[in-house]
Amino acid sequence: MNDLALKMLLGDRAKYIMLVSGLALATLLMTQQASIFCGIMQWTGATLDNVSAPIWVVDPMVEQVNDTDSLRDTDINRVRSVPGVAWASPLYTGMLKARLKDGTFKFIQVLGIDGATFAGAPGELLAGSVADLRIPNTVIVDRYGIQKLSRDSGRPIGLGDTFEINDREARIVGIAKTRLSFSGNPYVYTTYDRALQYAPGQRKMLSTVLAAPTAGTDADTVARRIEAQTGLRAFTRKKFAWATIWWFIRNTGIPVAFGGTVFLGFIVGLAVCSQTFYAFVLENLRNLGALKAMGASDGLLCRMLLLQAFTVGVVGYGCGIGLATLVGTVLLKKEMPPFYMPWPLPVAVFGIVLWICTLAALLGIRRIRQLEPAIVFRG
């Protein structure tokens, strides 16, 4: 009977292709848009990926990494005095304006790291050396910054070239491989003291204290000690990343925008699959009635319909997830927009597709239960 069910399904090629196409489109929309949403949420914490530190200590009112408030310089020593802290270093973060020789300008995100230990330095350099930051008026620019500054100036820019930050010279001594920032502005690394010279002066300049636990000490435990002893807010890197993601989910329209498209994909799949599958059942009422007249039970016929629906669902899902993966590969090469497909996402979409197929099959099952075997003898 299973072979017969599949032969009935594949025999009507027009409806079979329509069912597969509808579910493939629904899978593509749901997976691709949800993956871009996940990529954007990862994007929001790009600074955490580009500045390596196990613990981030910030003002008590800070909720996410892109919105830090200034601390006092003495807070560094307060963090260092906490038991379990191996080291603590200053970090300056600020949005400043870079001016090129031809007068064009570009906003950049300046990261001022400790000039002695280089804690928070970029993890991978494509060119140059972090140690060269000890040379006066030097910076490390990420690869996106090199591309944007080159495009704006109309000529290639690389090691040894200079530009100005707040009327002060900045000479490029390194090119870093980083994750693109949420704002789209390039990262520029320099020493903490030099960053204070580049930035407009104000009473408090320290943005964050980076820290690490001693060997064998849990980072969460040390973070709680820092909060209890200093009154500041201490995040592990993972918790700060999730706090940033949830802040954007609660306070921006990003989830609504992408959620609407995902819901549209669900509606498309449900509408196409339900209507087409119900029409398929109506066209095969005589065949189903003949089987019922020969003794096939309602349960057997229902299992045949479920097999047909799930077969279409698996094929449609496979086509859709393949297209989504292909699109994701292209987007990852372009690096715009961000694309991230965690493993629970395709699993969840597969469950939704099977649920759509189940709803479509239920319409046919309801019609079969009302079917009279005598329909086969009617003209």
Q: pLDDT under 50 in the chain at which residues?
A: 379
pLDDT at site 371 = 62
Closest CA to 191 of 122, 117, 133: 133
Calculate helix-pair angle for 13-44, 298-334, nearest 10 degrees. Answer: 40
pLDDT at site 149 = 80
Phi, psi angles (nearest 5°) of residue 231: 80, 0
| Rounded (5°) CA angle 204-163-138 | 65
| Rounded (5°) CA angle 64-233-62 | 30
pLDDT at site 364 = 76
pLDDT digits (tens, 9 = 90+) for 236-276: 999 999 999 999 999 988 899 898 889 988 888 888 888 88
Amino acid (one-letter) located at 194: R
Structure tokens at 151: 């495009």
pLDDT digits (tens, 9 = 90+) for 152-182: 666 778 888 888 998 899 999 999 999 888 8
Residues in contact with 132: Cβ distance below 8 Å, sequence separation at least 6, in sequence order: 138, 173, 174
DSSP character at residue 185: P
Closest CA to 116 of 103, 102, 126, 130: 130
